[in-house]
Amino acid sequence: MCGIIGYIGYKNSLPILLDGLRRLEYRGYDSAGIALIENDKIEILKKAGKVSDLQDKLKNYSSQSTIGIGHTRWATHGAPNDINAHPHNNSDNSIALIHNGIIENYQTIKKKLLKDGCKFQSETDTEVLVHFISSFYKNGNDLFTATRLALSEVEGAYAILVISAKEKNKIIAARKGSPLVLGIGENEMFVASDASALISYTNKVVYLDDEEIVQLTSNNFVTKTITDEEIEKQIEKIDLEIGQIEKNNFDHFMLKEIYEQPESVKNSIRGRVLLEEGDAKLGGLQDFHDQLKKTKRIIITSCGTSWHASLVGEYIIEQMAGIPVEVEYASEFRYRSPVINSDDLIWSVSQSGETADTLASIREAKNKGAKTFGIVNVVGSSIARETSAGVYIHAGPEIGVASTKAFTSQVAVFGLIGLLLGRQRGMQIDQGRIIANEIISLPEKIKKALNCVDQVKKIVDEFKNTSNFLFLGRGTNFPTALEGALKLKEISYIHAEGYPAAEMKHGPIALIDDKMPVVFIVPKDNLYDKVMSNIQEVRARGGRIIAIANDDDDEIDNFAEFVIKVPRTLNYFGPILNIIPLQLLAYYMAIARGCNVDQPRNLAKSVTVE
């Protein structure tokens, strides 16, 4: 949510800020703006809408500024309009601020500032914060100290950048609960929400941790805690290339990422499968094998698509290793006083590694004495740093808001974890080899699954004007049905529901008529006959049946109006192949309906606020 970019150095800052904002568009936003220090004054230019709308506003604007901050806003407090857009400034326009997060006690602070005669222009909590910093600034503190003192009284989450016309050679940055990363250049410094906005300029970065504040000049940075303790930060190199965050020859990032899945899954399992031993090797867990072996319960916390992958992980771990697994919505976990034992293992799953609710669930688990592990994509992310250990999925940057390759890579990694835990707990080597061989085969099978575009487009032509879809599956393919429904509603705005196929009789069957498309995920597994019975029930009521089936299934053609076939795999890994046509269905449905595929309305890529 929200995108933050800042620059201080010797170059014209305006094009750098605009380039950074364009690269941050994938995070989801409804307005954009910049603040520059020009001729000892702060110039703020902002506009509701897309970055392109801001660029149109700036087309006749000439700047020589070498310091500035830029923002894309995802509305929380106040409507998405020009006034509520960031940056915000104080009364005399000496300070400008951009902010990602929510200031929970802003009303209390605002009442105090109103009593002091402060006047507000917007509805945002962010404007309250800039005036609050200003109140400390007026008392003779420098900008760094004023910001630090103000933040010591703030409750909530924030990532902020602050500049002042009175101290035009510095940017102040601070974070709590929302990510910030510094980019280290030669006589220039950058700061952004994530590294995708920096990679054109530097591969040297510094990750800020919670309750840290930093003062940036063009050739130096000084970091402290909010409580004024100095900190030594390590400069790291990131392995990210500009080509990875470009569309290449694809029309949209989402389509590119769907077609990257053979490679992304290959990267997720590379070097981790021990074929001869029928086992898995996960370096991030190497020092915790005893705890993994002794645990009596696993709890997985996650949100959205990662929650669906976690449900598949529950099936995998319970079936391969016999360990009881519970999957929790991270957003609900800490608010229900969960029962956590000291020998429980808490796994948290997040593509970005910055999901606010998932981070909160980790902290709740740690407070109760449990060991925490992460499954994340982004190296150096908050979850990667706050958990004791974990596994990177190595799927590469995912720019499209609707997650695709992260889901398949997360399920593949759960397969590796299940295999590791299973072999620790008595799984025979022959069974381990079967599973290991199947994991290795997945990238090639994904390539074959992608050869379904013509069938998908026929389905889209038939149903592009429909208002509702129902997705049904059993076993590991119940979560696949949930994920297929989520993808469709995320980007095509069609109402869709995922359900266990056997539960259809307990309510959803009332929706079935000759206008209702019903997607069945029906692989040739031990539940095949059961799902076929559910298909018969829908047929009897006139429902329009779409089936995702295996390529050796000839029977299904007699019962479904539309059939898409994918290679057969072990039931553990069915979701990896069965989701491919459902991702493509969502994509081409959104195209047919004229929707913005990569930036669907109201959504953000990384949900960094509660």
% pLDDT > 70, the chain:
97
Same domain, 418 and 483: no
Distance separating alpha carbons of residues 141 and 493, to the nearest angstrom:
50
| End residue of a domain, out of 393, 416, 450 | 450
User: Would you put residue 295 in left (φ > 0), alpha (ψ -120 to 50) or beta?
Assistant: beta
Same domain, 118 and 134: yes
Query: Across all residues in the chain, what is the average pLDDT?
Result: 91
Mean pLDDT of 118-136: 93
607 falls within a domain: no
Mean pLDDT of 378-393: 88
Judge whether residue 27 has pLDDT over 70: no
456 falls within a domain: yes
Distance separating alpha carbons of residues 204 and 429, to the nearest angstrom:
44
Same domain, 68 and 126: yes
- Give per-residue pLDDT as tens, 192-227: 988 888 888 998 999 998 899 999 999 999 999 999
Judge whether residue 481 has pLDDT over 90: yes
Q: 21 versus 26: which is more confidently predicted?
A: 21
546: domain CATH number is: 3.40.50.10490
606 falls within a domain: no
Q: Using 50, 70 and 90 to split pLDDT, how confident is the model at 519?
A: very high
Same domain, 546 and 470: yes
Supply the pLDDT for residue 1: 60
Supply the pLDDT for residue 436: 97
Same domain, 295 and 337: yes
Mean pLDDT of 410-423: 97
Mean pLDDT of 145-174: 94
Same domain, 217 and 327: no
Structure tokens at 559: 């019962």
Same domain, 443 and 574: no
- Give per-residue pLDDT as tens, 68-92: 999 998 777 778 888 998 999 999 9
Supply the pLDDT for residue 82: 87
Q: Which of 116, 68, 109 is nearest to 91 (CA)?
A: 116
53: domain CATH number is: 3.60.20.10
127 falls within a domain: yes
610 falls within a domain: no
237 CB-near residues (< 8 Å, 6+ apart): 203, 204, 205
564 falls within a domain: yes
- Give per-residue pLDDT as tens, 347-370: 999 998 888 889 889 988 888 888
Same domain, 259 and 233: no
- Give per-residue pLDDT as tens, 38-73: 988 999 999 888 888 999 899 888 899 999 999 998
Q: 380 versus 190: which is more confidently predicted?
A: 190
Supply the pLDDT for residue 582: 98
Same domain, 169 and 180: yes
Distance separating alpha carbons of residues 379 and 396, to the nearest angstrom:
10
**Catalytic hit among 2, 303, 452, 595:** 2
**Catalytic hit among 46, 371, 487, 605:** 605
Q: Using 50, 70 and 90 to split pLDDT, how confident is the model at 306?
A: very high
35 falls within a domain: yes
Name the 3-class secondary structure at 500.
strand
Supply the pLDDT for residue 398: 84
Q: Which domain holds residue 404?
A: 247-450
Tell me whether residue 605 is one of the annotated catalytic residues. yes
Supply the pLDDT for residue 11: 95
Domain count, the chain: 3
Q: Using 50, 70 and 90 to split pLDDT, how confident is the model at 250?
A: confident
Judge whether residue 486 has pLDDT over 90: yes
Judge whether residue 29 has pLDDT over 80: no
Judge whether residue 242 has pLDDT over 60: no
Judge whether residue 610 has pLDDT over 60: no
Distance separating alpha carbons of residues 156 and 332, to the nearest angstrom:
18
Judge whether residue 241 has pLDDT over 70: no
| End residue of a domain, out of 387, 415, 450 | 450
Same domain, 154 and 251: no
Task: Give the dihedral sign, CA 179/184/185/188.
Answer: positive
Same domain, 437 and 467: no
Q: 505 versus 316: which is more confidently predicted?
A: 316
Same domain, 237 and 314: no
Supply the pLDDT for residue 433: 97
Q: What is the DSSP string of 50-102?
A: -HHHHHHHTTT-----SEEEEEEE--SSS-SSTTTSSPEE-TTS-EEEEEEEE
Judge whether residue 542 has pLDDT over 90: no
| End residue of a domain, out of 429, 450, 471 | 450
609 falls within a domain: no
Supply the pLDDT for residue 607: 61
